Amino acid sequence: MRVLIINASPFQRRSNTSLLLNAFISGLNECGSKVELFNLVNLTIHPCRGDLNCWFRARGKCIQRDDMDKLYEPFTNADAVIFSTPVYCDGVPGQLKVMMDRLVAGGDPHLEIRDDHSRHPVTLRQQSQKFALIASCGLWELGNFDPMIMHLKAFCNNIGFTFCGSLLRPHAFAMKNRPINDILKAAKCAGKSFGETGDIPEAYSVVVKRDIVSREEYINEVNNKVTSLIH
């Protein structure tokens, strides 16, 4: 399986999200998937200009020449797309949203009704493409992912991708100084399973998002750390 991974964490290898992503990738590698990883922090992608030149003048091609040119081909031909991202302000980081906007260039301007919803047509190829999410956030509750998940599921519906599962890590800072071998093992198994079947079994997602500490303990720990850093 050809898997395109977009990593939106600016920290890359040192990041909370990458702890999960690296384990997931080692699972993908184990089953022979072809992995292409792009770190958005290393790419220059300008915001969409909104003139829809890509739809009405140069069909399917954005007027801007920047690093987005490296992504159109993998987005078209990958069997699966993974977004690996922190939650920023209850959604995806700005760099990732800018990249998502620029994918509109490859869309079809016509409208049709799909799933009782007015949408742009998608190709059979897009309908066969799988999508999965790996995400971490700093606040304690799992519900902090809800707005992002709702957004990304809507994005998948519009672009034609099938949302196949997620690995979510709330109160992610608690991972730094506690045993999380079961979480990393589940993330690796999820990668292997995704590479083999195109799905993330719920059993692995449940382990990855498990409570690491109580909310009270986490708040105390974060506050102590913050106080020591500020004073």
| Shorter beta-carbon distance to ligand FMN: residue 23 or 105 | 23
Site for ligand FMN in 28-57 (CB under 6 A): none
Q: Figure out which of the listed residues 37, 104, 139, 207 binds ligand FMN, where binding follows CB under 6 A.
A: 139
Q: Is residue 229 involved in binding ligand FMN (CB under 6 A)? A: no
**How many CB atoms lie under 10 A from the CB of residue 223?**
10
Distance in Å, CB of 195 to ligand FMN, minimum: 22
Q: Is residue 90 involved in binding ligand FMN (CB under 6 A)? A: yes
Q: Which helix (H) or strand (E) segment is 101 a member of?
A: helix 94-102
Q: Print the binding letters for residues 141-180 with ligand FMN: x by CB under 6 A, - otherwise.
A: ---x---------------------------x--------
Q: Figure out which of the listed residues 3, 5, 17, 166 binds ligand FMN, where binding follows CB under 6 A.
A: 17
Q: Count the alpha carbons within 13 Å of 111 in the hemisphere toward its beta carbon.
A: 5
Q: Which stretch binds ligand FMN (CB under 6 A): 8-16, 52-60, 74-82, 109-117?
A: 8-16
| Shorter beta-carbon distance to ligand FMN: residue 86 or 165 | 86
Closest CA to 88 of 28, 20, 23, 172: 172
CA 68 to chain centre: 17
Residue with tokens 């959604």, as numbered in its chain: 91
Cα separation, 121 vs 106, whole angstroms: 11
Token pair recorded at residue 11: 């920290």
Helix %, strand %, coil % for the chain, to 5?
50, 20, 30
Distance in Å, CB of 152 to ligand FMN, minimum: 15
> Which residues lie near ligand FMN (CB under 6 A)?
9, 11, 15-18, 86-90, 136-139, 144, 172
